[in-house]
Amino acid sequence: MKKIIIISLFVSFFLTGIAYSQFGKNKVQYDNYHWSYIQSDNFDIYFYEGGEDLALFAEPVVEQALKDISSILNWRVRKRISLILYNSHSDFQQTNVILDYMYEGIGGVTELFKNRAVVPFDGSYADFWHTLRHELLHVVVNDMIYGGNVQSMISGRVRLQIPLWMHEGLAEYTSLGWDTHADLTLRDAALGNEIPNLDELDYYMTYKGGQSVYRYIASRYGNEKIGEIWAQMKGHGNAEKGMKAAIGMDMKELGEKWHRWVRAEYWPDVADRDEIKTMSKQLTDHRKIKNYFNTGPAISPSGDKVAIMSDRKGYADIFLISSLDGKPITKLVSGQKSPDLEELKWLNPRLSWSPDSKKIVLAVKSGKDDALIIVDVKTKKRERITFTNLDEIFDAAWSPDGESIALVGLKSDRSDLYLYNLKTKTTRRLTNDRESDFEPSWSPDSKKIVFASQRNGYGNDGKVSKENLASGIEFRQTDLYVYDMTDSSITRLTDSPWDENYPVWANTKNAIIYTSDMEGISNIYVYSLDTKESVAITSVLTGIFQPSLSKDDSRLAFAGFADGGWDIYMVSNPLSMMNEKKEIKPTVYAKEIMKSWNEPAKAVLKNDSSEVVKPTLTRTVSVAQNYSNYIFAPSIDAVGMIPDEPDTTPVKTDTLQNKTPDGKFVVNPYKTKFTLDMIDSQAGYNTFWGLQGTTIFAFSDILGNHQLLFGTEMYIDLENSDYYLAYQYLGKRTNYSVVGFHSANFWSLSYYYMLRLRNYGADFSVSRPFSRLSRSEFGLTSYNVEQSLINVLTGTTDTSITINTLLPRVGFVFDNTLWGYFYPMDGWRGRLDFMMSPKYNKNSMEFQSLTFDLRRYYKLDNEYSFGLRLSGGLSEGKNAQRFFLGGESNWINQKYRRYHDYENVEDLYFSQFVTPLRGARYYEREGTRYFLANLEFRYPFIKYMALGWPLPMRMGGIQGITFLDFGSAWDGTDFHPFGRDLANGLYMDDLVSGVGCGMRLFFGYFLLKIDVAWRYDFDQFSKPKYYLSLGLDF
């Protein structure tokens, strides 16, 4: 009897869960791409319109990177590698190789099903070069550890769990070696005595902290030790044991020695440097407001207000603060909550004021196209200016005469300066070359624009030599240039081996304020256009970025990194600081760089011209045979990284000819070809079905646009087995899916009889997103049910009940929520669904059902939030659906008010269970109408706890909730929420409520929910009921 109830519950969840109640934001396919690919020795490089030059740029980079990484790890990849390139990050967000959304800040991704690397071009060839090498490390490691696909982990052949910092740190180390950004992060942690333990390396420190650990290992043992560590980890099947075998230290010992090394490395940098907050006025404090980013300052022309970008509410928002004390004035823009403000470009935070201080302009991702958003500071009304001819836009700067806005536009493989005329509504391209341009700033007379650019590695033909592409040593460094609006000429201002960025034109002097990481730390400099000389006016411990100057030059706002986060600072009369010229001493790392520059043998490319290479700030790890061709940090030693007997096994090439007779790559059209992603055979226990076993076969094409899934449990025959076949097409804006399914289950009723329940049919679904945040859904399901009573002794069917239905449905979904670790913390999500079953034969049902589900979340701070939910529905018709209210989804220790009527097949397969209503049991209320309200307060319960004897263990990350649930279900108009009697007065009649508390913790791969609740009916509280369940909260 209980098994029948379990069947009913599961079928209800299956039927309603697949067709309904699915939230989530959308991945919108705005564009239809026509893909092609070229083949190099080891790579198939995929690209689309406008991306061929990016593919030609990437080819020598990844081929050289593969040699470098293979030498370090002493491993050769024997399979061809798929590299998929996108012309912009906006295009990259449409990829189906990874079904997750690629948020701003994800520079590239490597997946494990086919070991594909996916990399977008963001306008900077330096970043593109870095990301290519970074993702290729993951490709090689995946091949080395997991055999190049996820199958080894699914089958259990490989159980090696490697800390994330070891993956990402090595990817950073092999792609960059060391750089001033990593140096900044570790210096700040060291000087603040906040160097994390190895098992605490997370977020950005996963990358930069891990990079530092590898730098320490290489400085002590040489780069060859890195390959040995990974080989030992693979051989032992354990990261801890592998580390111990390779270097004689476990993770704890390694962490302690790394800590000492980091402190010794950075303490010498303290002398004669200022903390940012001691040499300026600090306007924000990320520690007090518990956020990370306070960046992109734009001081108003009058100098009394500063517009900033901040994530203090979890989203990237624009705030207006006082330039005197930093007190918030207002929030101008709420980002990421509406389609026209999908993303605010927080990696390129640039805000600009109109000359009259009435408006602010910023570049945003706004649906299909990027846009300029002009915000009225007083009314907060917005004007949206789209650019359909550009892939992305950045760095908007309003001209002093108020007539134009300069910006950086990305188109295919080029990021150039553009000019938008506010009067004529036209766009003019100012630069048109392969060099990457950034951060335009106007002269006071609006006749010139100063900007930063990477313009070193290009010859007169606008191309980069193949050697420079492979090494990346030329185009990674930025200098300052001036564009003259009168004659379109470009004049170079700075020519140093360091990075000059964020130029701002002064108004009262013929000078430009900018930042430079000269001597190893980013400080503020002033460049005199009269004397052609630069003067440092700050000397800080960490780093200064993004300066913004008031119209009278009396105030300078800037962003600074310190104490593990970003804040806004202010200095007065910055130009007068030129009289107090700072003598900046080089950091320890800068001394290493400059020492390498003094070795000419390592600063000359071996080419026909013997051109002296301009030194660059980033140092990469390379292999021994190329060691003399490029510049490296002195700590990098490539000796011994090449195996004594190199692997000469060639990678198999395609049957296609990959080059023309004149040496050019053949461009091949993309053709859809399915290949296997995984086979997974598993047995498990399901709350509703009991023991189950299924084998799943997953296929897809290389771009992920076509998804094919086949699952089967073929232990009897086609009529008595579970199987399904599903196909999904994701290549266009409208997504389509087709599913065919069959399920058969048996339950013994007695020694003589068993019950067989079959459901089978097909489903066709369509999803059409309006934007990232909303979509419409359509579908049609042929759902057929057969219940048979079988005589075990004779094998005959005594009775049989059959139901045939066609279930058309339509739905609307909205979701702009911000997620925490366990559940949404802020925003809205809602669904409205209609489903019907028309009567078309004697075995079909007739009903129409309408349901809604509205949820609102309020974030109090980064750890505390409220969740509110209101849902309801009704069903009409001869066979109206019934709603069963009470209990919790995936409730393990279930309690029931009554047994299910298992002879009622309609209820068994077409009813809907409504949860959570804690304090109540399954079937506590039922009917053809329902409503349910849930209120939850969510908070950290146990952040961290360490126990000693007799149970030495550590635990943490356990969330707590306090909740109130109430609702009811009824038939027609027969609803009586309250009743009254003489003895007890007012009580809840049809209405049911429960209050309680609980905790949430991850148990393996599942979220375990433990709740205790008391039912309350105005008269009394019931005895406590306990709920042990799996799954996410609403």
* Three-state secondary structure string covering 590-620: HHHHHHHHCCHHHCECCCCCCCECCCCCCEC
User: pLDDT at position 14, please?
Assistant: 37
User: pLDDT at position 13, please?
Assistant: 35
For residue 898, name the pLDDT band (cuts at 50, 70, 90): confident
3-state secondary structure 332-365: EECCCCCHHHCECCCCCCCEEECCCCCEEEEEEE
266-304 residue pLDDT tens:
999 998 899 999 999 999 999 999 899 999 999 999 999
Q: Kind of pairing, strands 912-914 and 883-885?
A: parallel
Query: What tokens does 1002 get?
Result: 């991850």
Decide if pLDDT at 406 tops 80. yes
449-505 residue pLDDT tens:
999 999 875 544 445 555 555 555 556 789 999 999 999 999 999 999 999 999 999
What integer best gives the mean pLDDT of the chain? Answer: 87
Query: What tokens does 122 get?
Result: 């963001």
For the chain, the domains span 2-27+733-1030, 36-269
The answer to whether 449 touches 441, Cβ cutoff 8 Å, is yes
What is the C-alpha separation between 220 and 200, in angstroms, rounded? 23
What is the C-alpha separation between 450 and 461, in angstroms, rounded? 24
Q: CATH number of the domain at 2-27+733-1030, please?
A: 2.40.160.50
* Residue count of the chain: 1034
Q: Which of 18-27, 138-147, 315-324 has the lowest mean pLDDT?
A: 18-27
What is the C-alpha separation between 765 and 576, in angstroms, rounded? 67
Of 470, 393, 413, give the one whose Cα is nearest residue 47. Answer: 413
* H helices present in 224-306, as ranges: 224-236, 239-247, 251-266, 276-279, 286-289
E-assigned strand segments in 496-612: 500-505, 511-516, 523-528, 534-536, 543-549, 555-562, 565-572
The residue to which tokens 């990050």 are assigned: 89
Decide if pLDDT at 642 tops 80. no
What is the C-alpha separation between 417 and 406, in angstroms, rounded? 7
Of 844, 842, 750, give the one whose Cα is nearest residue 789. Answer: 750
Of 533, 527, 557, 553, give the one whose Cα is nearest residue 545. Answer: 557
The answer to whether 550 touches 299, Cβ cutoff 8 Å, is yes
What is the C-alpha separation between 711 and 82, in angstroms, rounded? 27
Decide if pLDDT at 962 tops 80. yes
As a whole-number percent, the residues of the chain with pLDDT over 90 amount to 68
User: pLDDT at position 630, please?
Assistant: 24
What is the C-alpha separation between 635 and 219, in angstroms, rounded? 5
Decide if pLDDT at 34 tops 90. yes
As a whole-number percent, the residues of the chain with pLDDT over 70 amount to 88
Kindly tell me the sign of the dihedral angle through the C-alpha atoms of 70, 71, 76, 80.
positive
| DSSP reduced 3-state for 18 | helix
Q: Left if phi > 0, otherwise alpha if psi is -120 to 50, otherwise beta: which for 563?
A: left
What is the C-alpha separation between 322 and 312, in angstroms, rounded? 16
Q: Kind of pairing, strands 81-86 and 117-120?
A: parallel
What is the C-alpha separation between 843 and 235, in angstroms, rounded? 62
Summarize the confidence of residues 433-452 as an average pLDDT.
95
517-575 residue pLDDT tens:
999 999 999 999 999 999 999 999 999 999 999 999 999 999 999 999 999 999 999 99
Assign domain 36-269 to its CATH superfamily.
Neutral Protease Domain 2 (1.10.390.10)
**What pTM was computed for the model?**
0.89
Of 768, 785, 786, give the one whose Cα is nearest residue 777. Answer: 768
